[in-house]
Amino acid sequence: MNIHSEATARQQRAPVRHFLSDADLSADELREVLDLAASVKADRGRFRRVLQDRSIVMLFEKPSLRTRMTFELAAAQLGGFAVFQDHRDGRIGQREPAPDISRNLDRWFDAIVARTFSQKTLELLAKWSSVPVINALSESFHPCQALADYLTLLERFGSFDGLKLAYVGDANNVAHSLLHCGPQLGVSVSICGPAAYGPRPDDLVKARQVAERNGCTVEVGEDIRQAVQGAAAVYTDVWTSMGWEAETQQRRIAFADYKVDSAVMRLAEKRAVFMHCLPAQRGAEVTNAVIESPQSVVFDQAENRLHAHKAILIKMMEDNHGQAS
């Protein structure tokens, strides 16, 4: 099939499955993607041609180390390739409208991976794209990060049964993705931080409904001791995420009592791990002692970005373009 007829065929095939937020995968699909990630991690050779002749384009409005490197490497190690377009200086939609960008890119590429300031930009790209759009972080969600994080927990504990994850600090994009994925997998999630920086009410309602169905809980509060008690994972992120730099000083004050230090870790389960999506501000949201301690799994999380990204690329290709190899 040549590129023109393939593009036409894609446009006739509806609807396109995207991965814009964690809600785009059912609980079964989430487990399927995590199982696939574990399989590609265990046997890289078996998957080395899965994306042969497939290409992805990566549009990034914000800086990245982990997400960019691991998506590029994932595409290459699966037999495909990635093209990066830096949008840090000119936001998506500034030079030409997002719908036009999508309708160019979907003629050439098999998937669009985008890191944007706004979730709405992702939604607009997706609306006009005949190939899947994958969220590589927006202000609302970071679903690819959550895949790697729950894969890390599965590896560490062997199962999700009875696990509680305590998230300390700003209920940012990472926190929202953890909040949605955890209850789907049966993991209880407890978010603690200043009330003004808590999770979005609609997301909280949805996460609680899922938790109720799956026999786990979702808690939100300001008491760090209560949140961390009984947790198998203590997770934090920077107090000022990308895009909120103007609030850095006020956030430093607001979050001063939400630093993860050794005393906080002692309140969690004895076997508890420390998690962070990175980059970290040592001395702010986490002490150097904790992030460098044997409990810390931050580089396992970073490693698992690669395997999680391979899995979501395979899943999106199969769902949208049929069997990848």
- The residues annotated with a catalytic role in the active site are 115, 142, 145, 237, 277, 305
**Is 277 a residue that touches ligand CP (CB under 6 A)?**
yes
Cα separation of 224 and 92, whole Å? 39
HSE-CB for 260 with a 13 A CA cutoff: 35
**Is 39 a residue that touches ligand CP (CB under 6 A)?**
no
Q: How far is the CB of 148 from ligand CP (least distance, A)?
A: 9
Residue 248's SS3 state is helix
Stretch that binds ligand CP, among 58-66, 103-111, 156-164, 317-325 (CB under 6 A): 58-66
Out of 36, 41, 67, 307, the only residue in the binding site for ligand CP (CB under 6 A) is 67
Cα separation of 149 and 110, whole Å? 26
Q: How far is the CB of 242 from ligand CP (least distance, A)?
A: 8
Beta-strand pair 218-221/188-192: parallel
Tokens of 214: 């799956």
How far from 94 is each of 88, 89, 91, 99, 100, CA to CA, in Å?
11, 10, 5, 12, 11
Q: How far is the CB of 182 from ligand CP (least distance, A)?
A: 17
Tokens of 64: 């990245």
Closest CA to 276 of 247, 310, 236: 236
The residue count for binding ligand CP (CB under 6 A) is 8
Q: How many helices (H) and strands (E) does the chain have?
A: 13, 9
How far from 73 is each of 81, 131, 305, CA to CA, in Å?
8, 20, 10
Stretch that binds ligand CP, among 26-34, 38-46, 62-70, 254-262 (CB under 6 A): 62-70
Out of 56, 137, 207, 265, the only residue in the binding site for ligand CP (CB under 6 A) is 137
**Is 73 a residue that touches ligand CP (CB under 6 A)?**
no
Using CB under 6 A, which residues numbered 75 to 94 contact ligand CP? none
One-letter amino acid at 233 equals: A
Q: How far is the CB of 3 from ligand CP (least distance, A)?
A: 31
Stretch that binds ligand CP, among 42-50, 60-68, 102-110, 181-189 (CB under 6 A): 60-68
Binding site for ligand CP (CB under 6 A): 64-67, 137, 145, 277-278
